[in-house]
Each structure stands twice: as C-alpha cells, then as structure tokens.
Amino acid sequence: MTQLIDSGWLSTARRVESPNYDERPQDTEIDLLVVHGISLPPRQYGGPEIEAFFCNCLAVDEHPYFAGIAAVQVSAHFLIRRDGELVQFVALGNRAWHAGQSCFNGRECCNNFSIGIELEGCDDEAYEIAQYERLAELCCVLMNNYPGITSERVVGHSDIAPGRKTDPGQAFDWNYFRRLLAGEKR
C-alpha cells in the first residue's frame, strides 16, 4: 500500500485534527517514535472517546473516569485502533502533546523530537495482530521519511518516562513487533 505524506498528513490515515499541539523548536530533527497504549473508558474499546479526548470534547457525564481527565489537553500524532484502522490527529511537523515529562538518551522533552503513536489497548491485555501489522507498516513509512529514526529509536512511553508511565505495557510483544519491522512474517 502506497502511503504519501502531504503537509505532514499521511494519505492513508483518517484525519481528525486535534487542537492539542504546537510548533516544534526550530531546526529540530524528528528522530524518535514513541509507542503508547490508551483505552477510554479503561479496558473498553471501539468507542469515540479517545478521539473526543484528543479533541477536548470528552463528555464528562458519560463515565465516572472521565471527570478526572476531561480538562487534560493531550494528543498523539496517530492512533491505531484494535482493527488496525489508522487515525491521525496532528501533522508530523508539529509537536503533539503525548510524552509529557520525558527523557531519551539524555535529551529531555521528547515531544520536541518525537512522533507519538497510540495503540488502542491497555498494559495487560494482548494487542491485536492488525495493530502490530499497521504499526510496523507505519514505522517503515516514517523511518523512510525521517532518516534519524531507526529501529532502535522506536520505544515505549515507559522507556522515556520510567516510573511515571507503563504503556504500552507488558502485554505488548516487542519481539514480535521487531520481527515485523524487520520484514519477517508471522
């Protein structure tokens, strides 16, 4: 499948623009991919809540959990749904608000130089094969467009914010994902 990037938007992704982004620092090279896990409400999949959350439209009265997060302004560049659907929220040249307080190889503020990819899921429930396949495909496209991103520079949120974040969690099969990224089949 051919995927083109036009003005920072991937041609094969469904576009849902989030207001939660800003400009990257001038002359910043994008050279890191951060894999996250999210489900809203926790452990529930397939609904519109993640998109609403990233667009500051989460209905607080729909679930008790939402009251504690509704005022939080976050986003990611991409979301990969359980069925493999790819949604893009922020243009790649802009800084999405996904990593928070973070550090990679001594560099603080990972949002400045990274692309955030959310997987619909949670730390201790297996992710779907369609998600791994879409993630590997997306990573290859991004690596081809951003030479500073190598397979060693695809990390979990837990790697850049240890002790604060645990996603994508122990259920994420890094070995399987790395095999897919290297071009191996199931």
For the chain, the structural domain boundaries read 5-21+28-181
Q: How confident is the model at residue 4 (pLDDT cuts 50, 70, 90)?
A: confident
Q: Which residues of 71-101 are buried (b: 16+ CB within 10 A; e: fewer)?
A: eeebbbbbbbbeeeebbbbbbbeebbbbbee
Nearest to 157 by CA among 128, 125, 126, 115: 115
pLDDT of 6 reads 85
Q: Does this model's pTM top 0.85? A: yes
CATH code, residues 5-21+28-181: 3.40.80.10
Q: What is the pLDDT of residues 101-126, one digit of tens each?
A: 999 999 999 999 999 999 999 999 99
Q: Which backbone phi and psi does 185 adopt, to 5 degrees? A: -95, 170
DSSP 110: G
Side-chain half-sphere CA neighbours of 34 within 13 A? 31
Q: Is 23 a catalytic residue?
A: no
Catalytic residue among 49, 51, 118, 137: 118
